[in-house]
Amino acid sequence: MQHTLDLLLQGFSKIQAQHTQSTLGDRSQYIGMSDIGKAVDCMRMAVADKAFPQKTHTMQGENALEHHLWFQRGHWFEQGITEALRATGVPLLSQLAIHARHGSVPIQAHLDLVMVPAPDQVHIVEVKSCETLPENAYAAHEMQVFGQAGLLYSCWGKPLFFGGSHTSKQGVTFPALVQHLLGIALPAKVQEVSITAEILAVSMKKVRIFGPYTPNKLMLGAAQNIATELWQHVQAVKAGHTPLATLPTAQGWHPLCEYCQWNADCPRFAGISMPELEQELLELQELKAERDTLVQRIQQREQRLKGIHKASGLGAEWIQTQTRRFKALHCEGKVSLDKEKLASALAEMLPEQTIESILLHAQKMGAPYQRLMVGTVN
């Protein structure tokens, strides 16, 4: 019997390929809004994904399952959110597609959810699954929803919309699609409608809304310019005129790099090869994993003993074992200086510049140190 994890990996690869084909079609033939968002993060990765799509479905190795889980999680969340919103009875379309062009560049937007709560209101919801919710929306996601809202606005009365059971190869206008699928008569003029969009960030425990965003000509123009640049790079890479190594990469630390399929020879990680140190790095990784498990086990054990002491009702008294004793002690929280509160208290007595210089002088900087950065080569 084949190992379950291998089967899972195979299954995920198939599902991913089928899903991409059924919902997004041949992605090599257009630039999608998510490609534009990706290019905001890293042009090299966006170009490589577009120029060599087959690698996405054949990814192997340690990170492959993680990559697929990350990909699938997005679909699972999207399905759940769609079901929940549909259950409220709000009229909505899922998986709406807009097939547009900017000059010679084919651009497509695939919108997760579009609600039509009233005949003069259209609301786009872009679902994003996250490991942990960010405080602010990611620039890549914002570019994507600005592009979606902008295209919906600018293509409103053109036969460029596809979606739902409307499987014809011929597109229809947005009002015609909504009339056909939801039975709602929208105005023929987009100016008579309020279009808004939101990003719904979902993690395993929480959800957070970013927006609302409205159609913005400048942002749509920025998205179209990125699409053009990306399209030209893809054609040049495919034709062998531009090596991937010459394309701009993400700047600064970027969480995507760890999962990026193109990180093995990314110029961002340029250096020398020393395969003899592989074992040492693997052992370091194991040690860190052991440390994390140990920290967790210590916390669990402490929680349990605190619970036992509390349940015993002993208050400040100890519980003695054979060679050890313990009790749960009530401690005050740590005291720290609230810089904002201090600055606002001082603002009544001193000018702003003086306060800033006092705070600057009171800052303490630790000695510089070296940090070992370790990453995975995919």
The residues binding ligand SF4 (CB under 6 A) are: 42, 44-45, 249-250, 254, 256-257, 260, 262-263, 266, 268
d(CA 232, CA 104): 10
- For residues 168 and 181, the answer to whether their CB atoms sit within 8 Å is no
Phi and psi torsions of 353, nearest 5°: -65, -40
d(CA 356, CA 374): 38
Pick 158 or 238: Cβ nearer ligand SF4: 238
- For residues 9 and 65, the answer to whether their CB atoms sit within 8 Å is yes
Pick 96 or 244: Cβ nearer ligand SF4: 244
Sequence-ordered list of residues with C-beta below 8 angstroms from that of 72, at least 6 positions apart, any chain: 12, 15, 16
CA angle centred on 349, ends 343 and 355, rounded to 5°? 40
Pick 112 or 229: Cβ nearer ligand SF4: 229
25 dihedral zone (left: phi>0; alpha: psi -120 to 50; beta): left
What is the closest distance, in whole angstroms, from the C-beta atom of residue 378 to ligand SF4 in the complex?
Answer: 8
What is the closest distance, in whole angstroms, from the C-beta atom of residue 244 to ligand SF4 in the complex?
Answer: 8
d(CA 197, CA 189): 19
What is the closest distance, in whole angstroms, from the C-beta atom of residue 231 to ligand SF4 in the complex?
Answer: 18
Q: Of the candidates 76, 57, 128, 122, which has an alpha carbon nearest to the alpha carbon of residue 96?
A: 122
Pick 251 or 322: Cβ nearer ligand SF4: 251
Pick 96 or 250: Cβ nearer ligand SF4: 250
What is the closest distance, in whole angstroms, from the C-beta atom of residue 239 to ligand SF4 in the complex?
Answer: 20
Dihedral angle over CA of 56, 58, 61, 66, nearest 10: 50
What is the closest distance, in whole angstroms, from the C-beta atom of residue 57 to ligand SF4 in the complex?
Answer: 18
Pick 213 or 262: Cβ nearer ligand SF4: 262
Pick 270 or 360: Cβ nearer ligand SF4: 270
What is the closest distance, in whole angstroms, from the C-beta atom of residue 79 to ligand SF4 in the complex?
Answer: 28
What is the closest distance, in whole angstroms, from the C-beta atom of residue 305 to ligand SF4 in the complex?
Answer: 45
